[in-house]
Structure 1
Amino acid sequence: MRSLLICLAVILPSSLFAGGWAELQAPGLVLRFHDSDRASVGQLIDELSKGRQEVARHLGGGDGIGLTVYLTSSETAFREVTGGRIPHWGIGCAFPAERTIVLRKMPGQHEALLQTARHEISHILLYHLVSGRIPVWFNEGVAMWVAREWRLRQSAEVFYALFSGGLVPLDEIDEVLGFSSARANLAYTESLLAITYLIHLGGEEAVPRIVALLRKGDSFEQALQGTTGLSSTEFERHWKGYVSRRFSAGALMVTAQALWFYMTILVVAVYFGVRIRNRRRMREWETEDPVDSLPLNLRLKVSRREDHQL
């Protein structure tokens, strides 16, 4: 994960309130930036506003929750704004209680920036929509789902975990901040797969239905059972079966992502095959008599001319 959720009741870094920030506004959204980024923020605020509406639609509410987004353009600025509490690889974080997001703009990574923004928007909207505690797997899984975060590498991680018997139990994902990097990545991927399975059971309305039940005052256990007909224990057992089937060796061989992988391997193989053939041909040309490579009628003419010269 390259974005982080700051869930504690923290005080925002004082640098957020310092001068030097310019500002653009859209309904329910304030974008703050430095003058060096002014040329790109007009399009960005429109995209952020659209992303906010999209996330609210997926959650079934939250369109009236206002957000403030700070845009930084360097690791130094990002660390200064976040008080140095975010790892160097981080490109976004959310302060849900303050409805504030900090993003780090990376060269050539505009889509990743928007993806990170949707992820963080989900955290903030869920925080304000749902007053009770929700499992980390649901919080992170929903954020990854609305941000459309999935990579071929994650398939490999899950496949290896299944092969080695190392899936993280969903309730243990609550302790993800204490995990190693590899185990944390797996936990986040599992969170997304749990939401995928939830949608498999109840359609895309499953997530907003759970959110609605939580807003009504149900516990998460009640909301999950009311939506899927399964207790959390039953849900996890069925989910593990779903993951095992989806990431079996046979299933992975026919996924769209796998097909793209095979096509990439084929292109690389053809490329190197052509290079090897061309090198072999060059070596043959270097060792053979130039006359031998000519068509027969031309070789005869050359031979006759040489005989005549003799």
Structure 2
Amino acid sequence: MTMSLRRILLSALFLCALPLPAAADAGMLTVGDAQATVRFDAPLQTAAMEVLRIYPAVRSELLVDLGWETSFKPEIVLVKDHASFKKVSGSDLVTALAIPGEDLIVIDYSKMGGHPFTLEVTLKHELCHLELHHGISDGGLPRWFNEGICQWVTGGFDEIISDGSRSGLREAVLSKRLVSIDGLSSAFRSDGKGLLLAYEESRSIINFIKRKFGVEGLRKILEQMRSGRDLESAFRNSLAIPLDELEEQWRASLSPGNAWLFYLRDNLYEMLFVAAALLTICGFFRVLKKKREYKDDEDEGEGGEGEEEDREGD
């Protein structure tokens, strides 16, 4: 979903459900300071004050990670109703979103409160999107790189809900269905497994760059893009490697052998369950076979006794 469309939907949502001009009447309140403004449903006042409390530390930590300094005042909206938030996000999987052109962050508070979806981590991830928008010119930052960086600064967190028990990336490696870097940005427009894979691949590529070139390698790329260079030029100038060659190296690092081991680990419970079910079925048929053999032996025994009695009678 495009940012402009999200903005239209968000405006409609606020006009119909959370009207900002009449916030007090509709239960929508506002708190703020020199650094940020928070709008929220009345029951979320404690959460709103917590956002204001943690914001300075989150912002400072993020700027250290990115290695630059920007200045803007974001507006953070806490929505307690998941149905209302979905009208903005367009997906059941999304827990928060950032609208860079408006310096706006919208958080589905109904999904907060437990690992990994805490206010602090979610805020840092979405704030990272705004920072990247302010640091890098419009159109210069591919979606996959944007999401990968924001996952990196939050230790791998994304704003997508998944069951966490399976890796779409490993399944894609095993089935040879990895999305190319050129196709990753469009993959974010999908939903379900396609969207989850786009996030996983983006995180995996950024982690590969970090392992190979270090955190400074990532910062050099960001600095090159901040100076106006596109991603391809930024990779050549900062890492001395073209993007397509880096993609080849990343793909080679995803060893199918290791992927099989992780796949077996992730699916061990299901495999054991199936194995136990098969053993139970086999055991049932073995018992059934033994019962039939035992009955046949009994029938043969009774038949033999009858023949002996007939001979004795003669």
Q: Same fold (TM over 0.5)?
A: yes
1:6 to 3, 12, 15: 3
CA distance in 2, matches of 1:163, 1:139: 26
8 Å Cα contact 1:24/1:32 also seen in 2: yes
In structure 1, give the amino acid aligned to 2:106: V
Structure-2 change in CA distance of 1:128 and 1:8 (3 Å): farther
- 3-state SS, counterpart of residue 201 of structure 1: helix
CA distance in 2, matches of 1:98, 1:168: 31
Structure-2 change in CA distance of 1:110 and 1:241 (3 Å): same
Q: Give the equivalent residue in structure 2 for 1:54.
A: 61
1:232 to 243, 249, 266: 243
In structure 1, give the amino acid aligned to 2:130: I
Summarize the alignment of residues 261-276 of structure 1 with structure 2, pairs less than 5 Å apart.
none
CA distance in 2, matches of 1:154, 1:191: 19
- 3-state SS, counterpart of residue 42 of structure 1: helix
8 Å Cα contact 1:28/1:64 also seen in 2: no
8 Å Cα contact 1:140/1:191 also seen in 2: yes
Summarize the alignment of residues 243-262 of structure 1 with structure 2, pairs less than 5 Å apart.
243-244=254-255, 247-250=258-261, 252=262
2:106 to 88, 102, 105: 102
8 Å Cα contact 2:171/2:263 also seen in 1: no
In structure 2, give the amino acid aligned to 1:187: A
In structure 1, give the amino acid aligned to 2:3: I
Structure-2 change in CA distance of 1:227 and 1:9 (3 Å): farther
Summarize the alignment of residues 65-144 of structure 1 with structure 2, pairs less than 5 Å apart.
65-79=72-86, 82=88, 86-106=90-110, 109-111=113-115, 112-114=117-119, 115-131=121-137, 132-144=139-151
CA distance in 2, matches of 1:217, 1:246: 40
In structure 1, give the amino acid aligned to 2:143: V
CA distance in 2, matches of 1:247, 1:66: 45
1:156 to 153, 167, 177: 167
8 Å Cα contact 2:174/2:256 also seen in 1: no
8 Å Cα contact 1:29/1:49 also seen in 2: no
8 Å Cα contact 1:136/1:174 also seen in 2: yes
8 Å Cα contact 2:70/2:135 also seen in 1: no
- 3-state SS, counterpart of residue 66 of structure 1: coil
In structure 2, give the amino acid aligned to 1:123: H
State the number of aligned residues. 254
Larger radius of gyration: 2
What 5-or-longer segments of structure 1 have no aligned partner? 270-310
Q: Quick check: 35-44 or 239-248, which moved more?
A: 239-248
Residue 108 of structure 1, CA deviation: 6.1
Larger RCO of the pair (alpha carbons < 8 Å, separation 6+): 1
Residue 7 of structure 1, CA deviation: 6.4
Task: Report Cα offsets for 1:218-269 as digits up to 9, x if no partner.
Answer: 221111122221101101001111222794345x499xxx6xx79x97xxx9
In structure 2, give the amino acid aligned to 1:127: H
Structure-2 change in CA distance of 1:9 and 1:183 (3 Å): closer
Task: Report Cα offsets for 1:58-93 as digits up to 9, x if no partner.
Answer: 22224423211011111244357x3xx532443211
RMSD: 3.2
What 5-or-longer segments of structure 2 have no aligned partner? 274-314
Q: Normalising by the residue count of structure 2, what TM-score does the alignment of the two structures yield? A: 0.70
